[in-house]
Structure 1
Amino acid sequence: MTKTKIQGKFYPLKHDEWLRACRELTPAQRDVLYFVRTLDPYGDGLDISIAEIARQLSTDKRTVHRSTVSRALKELDANGFIDLELLMVRLNIKAKGIHYWDSEALSLPFGNASGVQDASLRAMQGASETSALPRDNKRDHDATVLPRDNERDHDATSVITTQQARSLRNKREPQASPNHDSNSLRLNKTYKDFIDSLCKTKREKFLEFGLRKAAELPKPPALPKKWIERNWQELREEFFTTSSQTPNQVDPAQSEREQQEQINAARKELAELQKRQQSWTQQGQGARG
């Protein structure tokens, strides 16, 4: 039988390498790893955007977000699967000084004034009307009042994160109010932020979900809670997707408690926001004096 030579470049995948990837990586990380390795089998270097990787990995039934690709690349680089070099990053800079703080009501430095105003209105409505938080909200576990200022943080690399860490905005950043549509998730910055944003019931359910996923791995981790902490972004997306596809059976008493928790949190954050706004106004007046 004559063997036909196949044209093109191929990645020499070994069985041991595949097993290691299965044991140490999440499915999303593994998809990204072999996407780049098969495009660059000789390790010559590959210039490709995060958006393009996400687009090619997406299907009609499954959307891969740029945030997922970005996190996967960072994790692969940290674990030695790839060497990641930052050649170009996107910065969204709003250099608003002290005169802007004083002239714009309820504005945050280096932030979005209209977003804070809307947040304040929603917080006051939630504090005065119990019905402002509907019972059929399937994702009230992380529904807070104040939005993040920069909606493009999920596209950012560690360089952007470092730049933002130097700004006054990130010293005391408000809690996120994520849009629960899967195409516009605004992520919590850390695992602790995410866990703290959940009510007690949702927190317990998420941890149970993560422990179950850890136990289902071919080689379950010795410290499952540490594994959950490392992979919380992927677990969160899967947890919320699974929850949204499950029939909503809500205990009225539990729903009432969760609503009250959210109202109390809204009141607390509104009070803190007003206090900070007063402080910024005083700083602006002092600078002009």
Structure 2
Amino acid sequence: MIQKPEKDSNTKVTGKFYPLQNTEWVKACKELTHTQLSVLYYLRSADPYSNGMRIRASTIADELQISRQAVYKAIDALSEKAYIEKEDVEYSLKLRSRGCLCDSLENRPQLSTDGDSCKPTATVVN
């Protein structure tokens, strides 16, 4: 027989809480891998009211002690299985100058040895 602990009416628990239901937990355990579960409940506990959030994969990876690649894969799987709604990803990129493929006058591609020999033109991506 399981005994319930007595409630202390003077004890208040503070903080943000995600109201996890038993049926939700059982369903997630059947459908998700360990890593996917970890990422899902990390996100749920970080945003318990589902207001939406911006978070780096590296932050999740560091906290859960998994790779960023594992976080990316888990987020993709959670999105595909409709556990989360992933908005368009905005990347923060810095290109490294490792040579530039340029067209010569004869329309033969040549690899430049320095990244500065190609004429800079603006690239617009929509």
Residue aligning to 1:282:
none
Select the structure with the greater relative contact order (CA < 8 A; seq sep ≥ 6). Answer: 1
In the alignment, structure 1 residue 88 sits paired with structure 2 residue 93: no
Residue aligning to 1:102:
110
Structural mapping, 1:202-213, within 5 Å: none
Structure 2: how far apart are the matches of 1:101 and 1:52? 41
Residue aligning to 2:77:
75
Distance 1:96-1:103 versus aligned 2 partners, 3 A rule: closer
- Structure 2: which amino acid aligns with 1:52? T
Give RMSD over aligned pairs: 2.5
Please state how far the C-alpha of 1:3 moved relative to its aligned partner: 4.1
Please state how far the C-alpha of 1:39 moved relative to its aligned partner: 0.7
Q: Structure 2: state its 5+ residue gaps.
A: 1-7, 114-124
- Normalization by structure 2: what TM-score? 0.70
Cα deviation, 1:1-41, whole Å, max 9, x if unaligned, reads 33411111001001110011111100001000000001111
- Structure 1: which amino acid aligns with 2:25? W
- Structure 2: which amino acid aligns with 1:96? L
Q: Secondary structure at the match of 1:12?
A: coil
Residue aligning to 1:40:
47
Structural mapping, 1:226-265, within 5 Å: none
Distance 1:103-1:11 versus aligned 2 partners, 3 A rule: closer
Residue aligning to 2:16:
9
- Normalization by structure 1: what TM-score? 0.32
Give the structure with the higher percent strand: 2
- Structure 2: which amino acid aligns with 1:39? A
Residue aligning to 2:117:
none
Residue aligning to 1:160:
none
Structural mapping, 1:124-273, within 5 Å: none
Task: Point out the structure with max Rg over C-alpha.
Answer: 2
Q: Identity rate of aligned residues, in percent?
A: 35
Please state how far the C-alpha of 1:88 moved relative to its aligned partner: 2.1
Q: Structure 1: state its 5+ residue gaps.
A: 59-63, 106-162, 164-289
Structure 2: how far apart are the matches of 1:48 and 1:87? 11
Structure 1: how far apart are the matches of 2:32 and 2:57? 19
Structure 2: how far apart are the matches of 1:42 and 1:78? 21
Give the structure with the higher percent helix: 1
Structure 2: how far apart are the matches of 1:86 and 1:15? 31
- Structure 1: which amino acid aligns with 2:110? D
Please state how far the C-alpha of 1:51 moved relative to its aligned partner: 0.7
Residue aligning to 2:4:
none
